[in-house]
Amino acid sequence: MIEVSGLTKRYGQLMAVDNISFSIEKGDAFGFIGPNGAGKTTTIRMLATLLRPDAGTATINGYDIRYDHDQVRAAVGYMPDFFGVYEGMKAWEYLDFFASAYRVPAAKRPGLIRDVLELTDLTQKRDAYVEGLSRGMKQRLCLAKTIVHDPEVLLLDEPASGLDPRARIEIRELLKELCNMGKTILISSHILPELAPLCNKIGIIEQGKLIMVGSVDEISAQLEGGRQFRIKLRGRLEQAREFLLRRPDIAEVDIDDGALDALYRGEPDQEHQLLAALVREGFEVSSFSEQETDLESLYMRLTRGVVS
Ligand SMILES: Nc1ncnc2c1ncn2[C@@H]1O[C@H](COP(=O)(O)OP(=O)(O)OP(=O)(O)O)[C@@H](O)[C@H]1O
Ligand SMILES: [Mg+2]
């Protein structure tokens, strides 16, 4: 549904998006993740035909983003990272305005508007003025206007930014519903764990480069392997860290929150040796447990150092 090949955008000397390629199948929910300034918005704006690439291109449902603007725009619902609301407009008028801009026939609009208000849980606010809505409601309204012309593809640039935890979960539920409706979704965020439950595929971008793409499992597998153990000690953390780092089966050790996080690359059934060695050395181990590969640490490991 989305085929990106060699997409590139420069701002002067700065390579904002540097020759990135990936593809998204119909029905995929693709999480586009990267820190501030990585190039997410620039990429999404190019896909939405609002910015011209310097090199490379992408097709959406077979249409080229460089040439087929009308077809691409009809196929795509784009939710920008910042959006304006118009003063003196009611929620339903706002949606009606966008629906007509997308050339939805007047006779079909009331029904559609009812549906998207329902879907975004804004039915109660149909006649409320847009500027009087809370931030979370505005965000949902913006999502409503993004889907008002029933596009097949949604390009959502940080739709949950600035929302409280409850509102973030509500947005996530809403996006799940859109996935279930068969939409193809590209959604950006700088928070990997937030996207993971929603997405079946993830791309990580940093400094304009796509450094990894695949399912969460594939991404874990692509990492050099190793299992993370969390070791709690009574004191002498720094000494324990140095002690562990001298072992060939330990790749990395971080001290975090009064515990050691050790990346173990030894034999799968020999990790007890680690514990035994620590105890032998006189370290007072109060707990020793394997960490699930959690997404946050995965992300931190992936992007380590490249940012700075
Ligand atoms: N109009 C512009 N003129 C010059 N530089 C720009 C422009 N837009 C973006 N950039 C630069 O391009 C790079 C990528 O920016 P972009 O907005 O795509 O990042 P992002 O991943 O969306 O970041 P964020 O998470 O902060 O939204 C940044 O270094 C930014 O400063
Ligand atoms: Mg951005």
- Check if 45 has its Cβ closer than 6 Å to any atom of ligand 1: no
Q: Render pLDDT for 117-143 as a digit per residue (tens, 0 to 9).
A: 998 889 999 999 999 998 888 888 999
CA of 38 to the centre of ligand 2 (A): 8
**Lowest-pLDDT range of 29-33, 124-128, 220-224, 243-247:** 220-224
pLDDT band at 295 (very low <50, low <70, confident <90, very high): low
- Check if 201 has its Cβ closer than 6 Å to any atom of ligand 1: no
CA of 164 to the centre of ligand 2 (A): 19
Q: Render pLDDT for 85-112 as a digit per residue (tens, 0 to 9).
A: 778 999 999 999 999 999 999 999 999 9
- Check if 36 has its Cβ closer than 6 Å to any atom of ligand 1: yes
Percent of the chain with pLDDT over 70: 92
So what's the pLDDT on residue 106? Answer: 93
pLDDT band at 308 (very low <50, low <70, confident <90, very high): very low
Which residue in 157, 181, 217, 151 sits closest to 27, CA to CA? 181
E strand segments, 26-150: 29-33, 55-60, 63-64, 76-79
Q: What is the mean pLDDT of residues 16-29?
A: 94
User: Which of 14, 186, 192 best tests ligand 1's pocket when mutated (most atoms within 8 Å of CB)?
Assistant: 14
Alpha-carbon distances, residue 104 vs 96, 115, 185 (angstroms): 9, 14, 22
Q: Which residues contact 225 (CB under 8 A, 6 or more apart)?
A: 265
| Nearest atom within ligand 1 for CA of residue 38 | 21
d(CA 84, CA 130): 10
Q: Output the average pLDDT for the chain.
A: 88
Q: What is the mean pLDDT of residues 142-153?
A: 92
Q: What are phi and psi of 67, to 5 degrees?
A: -115, -35
> Which bound ligand lies closest to the C-alpha atom of 40?
1
| Nearest atom within ligand 1 for CA of residue 205 | 21
- Check if 15 has its Cβ closer than 6 Å to any atom of ligand 1: no
Q: Which residues contact 138 (CB under 8 A, 6 or more apart)?
A: 83, 85, 130
Selected residue with higher pLDDT from 307 and 8: 8
Q: Render pLDDT for 57-89 as a digit per residue (tens, 0 to 9).
A: 999 999 999 999 999 999 999 999 887 777 899
d(CA 161, CA 32): 14
So what's the pLDDT on residue 307? Answer: 43
- The residue whose C-alpha atom lies closest to atom 22 belonging to ligand 1 is 41
- The residue whose C-alpha atom lies closest to atom 24 belonging to ligand 1 is 36
- Check if 300 has its Cβ closer than 6 Å to any atom of ligand 1: no
- Check if 38 has its Cβ closer than 6 Å to any atom of ligand 1: yes
Selected residue with higher pLDDT from 305 and 220: 220
User: Which of 42, 47, 207, 209 best tests ligand 1's pocket when mutated (most atoms within 8 Å of CB)?
Assistant: 42
User: Which of 9, 15, 41 best tests ligand 1's pocket when mutated (most atoms within 8 Å of CB)?
Assistant: 41
Alpha-carbon distances, residue 109 vs 98, 116, 123, 146, 185 (angstroms): 10, 10, 15, 14, 23
So what's the pLDDT on residue 45? Answer: 97
So what's the pLDDT on residue 170? Answer: 81
DSSP state of 285: E
Q: Is residue 93 within 8 Å of 48, Cβ to Cβ? A: no
Q: What is the CA radius of gyration of the chain?
A: 24
Alpha-carbon distances, residue 122 vs 127, 164, 303 (angstroms): 10, 17, 38
Q: Is residue 8 within 8 Å of 56, Cβ to Cβ? A: yes
Q: Which domains does the chain have, with CATH numbers?
A: 2-215 (3.40.50.300), 223-303 (3.30.70.100)
- The residue whose C-alpha atom lies closest to atom 31 belonging to ligand 1 is 37
- The residue whose C-alpha atom lies closest to atom 6 belonging to ligand 1 is 11
CA of 230 to the centre of ligand 2 (A): 34
Q: Taking the C-alpha atoms of 295, 296, 297 and 300 in order, what is their torsion angle to the nearest 10 degrees?
A: 120
Q: Is residue 211 within 8 Å of 205, Cβ to Cβ? A: yes
